[in-house]
Amino acid sequence: MEHNGPPLIRLENVGRRYRAGDTEVGALKDVTLDIHAGEFVAVMGPSGSGKTTLMNIIGCLDQPSDGEYFYSGLPVHAAGSDERARLRREAFGFVFQDYNLLRMVTAQENVEMPAIYAGIRRRIRWARAAELLSTLGLAHRTGHHPNELSGGERQRVAIGRALMNGAAVVLADEPTGSVDSRNGKEIMAQLAALSERGRTVILVTHDPTVARYARRRIELLDGRVVSDTGTNPGRQASAVRAARAPSQRMQAPVASLAESARTARRTLRGNKSRTALTLLGIVIGVFSVTAMLGVAQGMRNSILDSFRLLGGASLTISPRFGENSKPLTLSDADAIRSQIPNLLSVAPEMSGGGMLVGGENSESARITATTGRALQERGLILAEGAFFEEAHTESYAPVVILGGLLAGNLFGEHARPVGEYVLINGEPYQVIGVFKRNEEAFGAFAFQQRFAYVPLMTGAARLFGRDNLDSIQIIAADTDQVETVQNAIEALLSRRHGAGAFRIANQAEILAAQNDIGRIVSLVFGAIGGISLVVAGIGVMNIMLASVAERTREIGLRMAIGARERDILMQFVCEAAMVAGLGGAVGLIAALGLGALANSFTPMAFVAFTPWILLVGLSCATLTGVIFGFAPARRAAGMDPVAALRA
Ligand code: ADP
Ligand code: MG
């Protein structure tokens, strides 16, 4: 027996102990064994004698508890998990008794799988798998799923898979155990052919007729080698070549993200109802986050719009209610007008409710007494007629300007009521103007369209019979002077009434306050939406955990054909992120669609989406998938391949 060079496989005093409760089971004990490249070995022995354990250790699925194992001189007993995954990927090909094919993919795709983890490109993979299947006599079965194949055919597909990465060593654990004798012969013929072509084949069997195909028999009993027919001379040259072949690809990258995504897509499609349910949760979650943020944004927009219309240079003085409350009077307005410089306008305002009768109808409305100038400055636009003039105010003229909606309600949609009379609380007022209707208006501006406006002095003398103002609207000549003006007014009013009797709100402050409120509203609304996203995330986690548990064997198989822990991790995270991303996209579209629908029913933009909101929605979704998918993925990646395959 001549063998040049070191053996391909060398086991030195290898033991494998399992903990079973308090006791330890020795599955393998003190096994010392050399297997040279090109050998065809049958491992025999009664059930429980350690055959599978030996195969798993040789195939780097399992690690020895004692002793040393060298593959091609490499100390495997000291290798890390990635290194062992690499050996499984490049050097070994497993053939299991029960095939371990993936049900959801075709024969061709089953054969291709190991090459995915070896980073082989699709086209090359595809061609090689097709070639392997045709060599195995399965050219007509490439598109079939495992459940459409006979046991013998399935096992031949498994052999194809074992050879996909050009394994130097084929490990077959009772490959004929689940097929009839005719198919068993076929499978053995294939293994024998592999051996003929120089591959190392290690076969577990307890069938002596099967064992006869091998040139060497190793017998195990109770975890020990009890007989070994020894190494026979093989075809060294070709065997060594076969053994070396995979090393050219050893630095190849592992499965790419694109491959993970492809696998994830296939899995998701393979279990449609489960995917749909997970999706639904995410759709609802993202929909609520996005819709909530959209509604909050809509509110902010309309509030900000109404304030922006009032300009940045305005101030509002109003009485402060409470113990030292003082009435705000016309003489205060006069004092401000005469004593404070740099003012564009001083508009004292009074308001109260009143009953209006005009045309055929009557309507109760809010009546604001103010100056024509104040109305103009507020951005109200006349549809017809004119604003009040000084003369109206000075003469207490009984004239009225109607808000657009109010005019419509009293006189009808298309009437032109200027010149007509309305009764306000029983007294006649002539309509001198009608404000333009604005369908888009919202908040304060929508309400104003139902108001009636009378000249200030008319209101004070005729309508309200008081000269206490509700507010004085001030516009500074310049935005920069707002603060100076505000301080001057504060000082003036303190002199007249004592400190703290009035509140002076500065437009910029109101705007800032509104902005703060808007931000809080967004936050609260977003958080409410976020809760449903968290619930959806928990759903994802739940389903992923169930999926991991259900697919334990698949995970074991992927590890056996060379997937690294991080490949498995990436695959499951990818699956979760994909469901979540898809659900996120659907949720966004739903939010956009329903938002547009809601807006079409209301005069104002009730829901407003900014690109920022859409981005937040989508990234929240994907992030939810990644975060909640991570724990299940880690569980999958951390599985012990042997235990997983046993599941
Ligand atoms: P064979 O393949 O020859 O039937 P195995 O290698 O599967 O035998 O098992 C050898 C011994 O190790 C058996 O006694 C078995 O019960 C034990 N064994 C195998 N795996 C485990 C495990 N994960 N935990 C505990 N005992 C185990
Ligand atoms: Mg076994």
DSSP per-residue codes, 167-213: -SEEEEESTTTTS-HHHHHHHHHHHHHHHHTT-EEEEE-S-HHHHTT
Residue 190 lies in a domain: yes
451: DSSP letter? -
- For ligand 1, mutation pick of 19, 25, 54 (most atoms within 8 Å of CB): 25
Give helix 107-117 / helix 122-135 axis angle, nearest 10°: 130
The CA distances from residue 640 to 8, 91, 158, 567, in Å, are: 25, 20, 21, 14
Q: Which ligand is nearest to the CA of 53?
A: 1
Q: Does one domain contain both 343 and 238?
A: no
What φ, ψ does residue 563 adopt, rounded to 5°? -65, 135
Please give the share of the chain, as a percent, with pLDDT higher than 90.
Answer: 51
**Which of the listed ranges 315-329, 384-398, 419-433, 445-459 does the model predict with the highest average pLDDT?**
419-433
Q: Does one domain contain both 372 and 224?
A: no
Residues 144-167, mean pLDDT to the nearest whole number: 95
Query: Does position 92 have pLDDT exceeding 70, yes or no?
Result: yes
Q: Does one domain contain both 200 and 289?
A: no
Question: Rounded mean pLDDT of the chain?
Answer: 87
Residue-wise pLDDT tens digits, 529-552:
889 889 999 989 998 999 899 999
Query: Does position 232 have pLDDT exceeding 70, yes or no?
Result: no
Pairing relation of β-strands 399-402 and 452-455?
Answer: antiparallel
Whose Cα sits closest to atom 24 in ligand 1?
18
pLDDT value at residue 4: 57
Determine the atom of ligand 1 nearest the C-alpha atom of 643. 23
Q: Greater confidence, 499 or 199?
A: 199
Is 583 in contact with 281 (CB distance < 8 Å)?
yes
The Cα–Cα gap between 296 and 299 comes to 5
Q: Which ligand is nearest to the CA of 642?
A: 1
Residue 154 lies in a domain: no
Burial (CB count <10 Å: 0-12, 13-18, 19+), residue 99:
buried
Side-chain half-sphere of 259: how many Cα atoms within 13 Å? 20
**Residue at a domain's end among 476, 506, 536:** 506
Residue 577 lies in a domain: yes
**Radius of gyration of the chain, Cα coordinates, nearest whole angstrom:** 43
Q: How confident is the model at residue 446 (pLDDT cuts 50, 70, 90)?
A: low
> In the structure, which protein residues have their CB atom closer than 6 angstroms to any atom of ligand 1?
18, 20, 25, 27, 45, 47-53
Q: What is the DSSP string of 385-402?
A: E----HHHHHTT--EEEE
pLDDT value at residue 5: 67
Q: How confident is the model at residue 123 (pLDDT cuts 50, 70, 90)?
A: very high
- For ligand 1, mutation pick of 31, 49, 55, 225 (most atoms within 8 Å of CB): 49
CA 222–ligand 1 middle distance (angstroms) = 10
CA 26–ligand 1 middle distance (angstroms) = 8
Determine the atom of ligand 1 nearest the C-alpha atom of 20. 25
* CATH label of the domain that carries residue 209: 3.40.50.300
Whose Cα sits closest to atom 15 in ligand 1?
48
416: DSSP letter? -
pLDDT value at residue 606: 79
Residue 261 lies in a domain: no
pLDDT value at residue 3: 54
Query: Does position 602 have pLDDT exceeding 90, yes or no?
Result: no
Query: Does position 268 have pLDDT exceeding 60, yes or no?
Result: yes
**Residue at a domain's end among 506, 535, 569:** 506
Q: Does one domain contain both 449 and 356?
A: yes
Query: Does position 128 have pLDDT exceeding 70, yes or no?
Result: yes
Q: How confident is the model at residue 330 (pLDDT cuts 50, 70, 90)?
A: confident
Q: How confident is the model at residue 255 (pLDDT cuts 50, 70, 90)?
A: low
pLDDT value at residue 241: 47
The Cα–Cα gap between 400 and 360 comes to 18
pLDDT value at residue 237: 43
Q: Does one domain contain both 488 and 579?
A: no
Determine the atom of ligand 1 nearest the C-alpha atom of 220. 3
The CA distances from residue 638 to 55, 63, 531, 552, in Å, are: 21, 15, 30, 11
Residues 464-487, mean pLDDT to the nearest whole number: 83
- Quote the Cα angle for 526-630-62, to 5°: 175
- The boundaries of the domain holding residue 23 are 9-91+167-253
Residue-wise pLDDT tens digits, 36-80:
999 999 999 999 999 999 999 999 999 999 999 999 999 999 999
Residue-wise pLDDT tens digits, 604-618:
677 888 898 889 888
CA 32–ligand 1 middle distance (angstroms) = 19
The structural domain count of the chain equals: 3
Pairing relation of β-strands 343-358 and 399-402?
Answer: unpaired
Query: Does position 142 have pLDDT exceeding 80, yes or no?
Result: yes
Determine the atom of ligand 1 nearest the C-alpha atom of 25. 26
Residue 354 lies in a domain: yes
**Residue at a domain's end among 481, 506, 531:** 506
Q: Does one domain contain both 329 and 402?
A: yes
CA 22–ligand 1 middle distance (angstroms) = 16
Residue 138 lies in a domain: no
CA 107–ligand 2 middle distance (angstroms) = 25
Query: Does position 629 have pLDDT exceeding 90, yes or no?
Result: yes
Q: Does one domain contain both 215 and 79?
A: yes
Burial (CB count <10 Å: 0-12, 13-18, 19+), residue 116:
buried
For residues 546-583, one letter each, b for 16 or more C-beta atoms within 10 angstroms of the residue's C-beta and e for the rest, the string is: ebbeebbebbbbbbbbbbbbbbbbbbbbbbbbbbbbbb
Kindly compute the dihedral angle of the four CA atoms of residues 388, 391, 396, 398, in this order, to the nearest 10 degrees. -50
Residues 109-133, mean pLDDT to the nearest whole number: 94
Q: Does one domain contain both 455 and 569?
A: no
pLDDT value at residue 442: 53
The Cα–Cα gap between 55 and 243 comes to 18
Q: Does one domain contain both 321 and 446?
A: yes
Residue-wise pLDDT tens digits, 270-319:
888 888 988 999 999 999 989 988 988 888 777 766 655 555 677 888 88
CA 643–ligand 1 middle distance (angstroms) = 11
pTM, 2 dp? 0.71
Residues 471-485, mean pLDDT to the nearest whole number: 81
Residue 551 lies in a domain: yes
Q: Greater confidence, 207 or 509?
A: 207
Determine the atom of ligand 1 nearest the C-alpha atom of 47. 4
Which residues, in sequence order, are CB contacts of 334 under 8 Å at separation 6+? none
The CA distances from residue 174 to 96, 198, 270, 640, 644, in Å, are: 7, 21, 30, 21, 18
Q: Does one domain contain both 440 and 533?
A: no
Q: How confident is the model at residue 245 (pLDDT cuts 50, 70, 90)?
A: very low
CA 637–ligand 1 middle distance (angstroms) = 23
Q: Does one domain contain both 355 and 464?
A: yes
Residue 378 lies in a domain: yes
Determine the atom of ligand 1 nearest the C-alpha atom of 646. 23
Q: Does one domain contain both 290 and 235?
A: no
pLDDT value at residue 244: 45
Q: How confident is the model at residue 172 (pLDDT cuts 50, 70, 90)?
A: very high
